[in-house]
Structure 1
Amino acid sequence: MTQPTDLPPLSADEILDVVDEDDRVLGQAPRAEIYAKGLRHRCVFVLARDPQGRVFVHRRTARKLVFPSMYDMFVGGVVGAGESYEEAALREAEEELGVSGLPAPRELFAFLYETSDVKEWARVYEVALPSDTVSPQVEEVEWWTFLDDAELRERLREWPWVPDGIAAYRRLTGF
């Protein structure tokens, strides 16, 4: 499904924790500064499955600060300053999917993702959706669908995917 794209850019003023290589908080900075300077921060990835076991897959909006217009098999985002990973995982899943009252996402693993542009401590979660009825956040999601695991693997070869999501998916599935 496609969403409107005539929205202003997302806020770059959100304050995030800056962390070291061991995920200890060093201080705080606005999201824009963290991205511009390549500072290490925290984020969450949530694999959302519908009752049939299909994965929610979406294309990010063009107005995203990082990886605009790319596909992702996770919902999620940055962890706000002072926010726990668990709080961020539930908040991000409910916001992006437009579903309230989700069960707490189950943590699967944590990993450090670093490139020359992006440095993040990530925790990967999974959540079971009570139905396949979602109302994705138009600021975040331009297009979406549910794919079974085989369809998702096929699309990995065809669509441009967010690199940190691919790294998390490979760790999760070995694919």
Structure 2
Amino acid sequence: MSSADEILDIVDENDQVIGQSPRGEAYARRLRHRCVFIEARDAQGRLFVHRRTPTKLVFPSQYDMFVGGVVGAGESYDDAALREAEEELGVSGLPRPTYLFKFLHDDGAGHAWWSAVYEVRCELPVSPQAEEVAWYDFLTDAELERRLPEWTWVPDGMAAYERLKALRAAH
């Protein structure tokens, strides 16, 4: 099964399930669905940053400071966060990611998705999926901040990152 055939829950503006659709159709018809974003840090507190492969359905070859992806039909945000983090990092036995917040991302062009943001500590050696990750490294927060204006970042990841920075600054 290709990723375009994966079945997603379609949700309303209140994140209530109103139907199901294949992922490719959900993207093409701009149907609201669910995603998870997981901030993964290593034992030294550095952030996992990667560049997406050029074959990705959305935002090919762009950089991201989160691992994650879509929530499958009938799957909880929490289960999707653990599954996506383990898949993208290429590990098993990861601690369950900690939920931080949720927001409705709207790209201004008719694409919108509910986005749950998590954090996890990954002290295991990573082996990211070659079909998902073209390049990766663990960066300090200062290194990430230096790269923000230099690299092309996925827009939904940037939206999540800005909200996460604001949340942390408020505490």
Cα deviation, 1:92-140, whole Å, max 9, x if unaligned, reads 0000000100000000100000121421001000000124x20001110
Alpha-carbon shift at residue 49 of structure 1 (Å):
0.2
Say if 2:95 is the partner of 1:128.
Answer: no
Q: Aligned residue for 1:3?
A: none
Q: Aligned residue for 2:81?
A: 89
Q: Secondary structure at the match of 1:12?
A: helix
TM-score by length of structure 2 reads 0.94
Work out the CA distance in 1 between the residues paired with 2:165 and 2:38.
14
Q: How do 1:114-125 residues align onto structure 2 when only pairs under 5 Å count?
A: 114-115=106-107, 116-125=109-118
Q: Aligned residue for 2:93?
A: 101
Q: Aligned residue for 1:37?
A: 29
The answer for unaligned runs of 5 or more in structure 2 is none
Q: How do 1:1-175 residues align onto structure 2 when only pairs under 5 Å count?
A: 11-115=3-107, 116-131=109-124, 133-174=125-166
Work out the CA distance in 2 between the residues paired with 1:117 and 1:25.
19
Name the aligned partner's letter for residue 115 of structure 2. Answer: A
Name the aligned partner's letter for residue 100 of structure 2. Answer: L
TM-score by length of structure 1 reads 0.92
Going by fraction, where is helix more abundant, 1 or 2?
2
Name the aligned partner's letter for residue 78 of structure 1. Answer: V
RMSD of equivalent CA atoms? 1.1
Cα deviation, 1:64-104, whole Å, max 9, x if unaligned, reads 00100000000000000000000000000000000100000
Work out the CA distance in 1 between the residues paired with 2:34 and 2:130.
23
The answer for unaligned runs of 5 or more in structure 1 is 1-9
Work out the CA distance in 2 between the residues paired with 1:34 and 1:153.
33
The alignment of Structure 1 onto Structure 2 pairs a total of residues equal to 165
Alpha-carbon shift at residue 11 of structure 1 (Å):
2.5
Work out the CA distance in 1 between the residues paired with 2:132 and 2:83.
14
Work out the CA distance in 1 between the residues paired with 2:38 and 2:3.
21
Distance change (3 Å), C-alpha of 1:88 and 1:64: same
Structure 1 stretches of at least 4 aligned residues deviating more than 6 Å after TM superposition: none
Q: Secondary structure at the match of 2:5?
A: coil
Q: Secondary structure at the match of 1:58?
A: strand
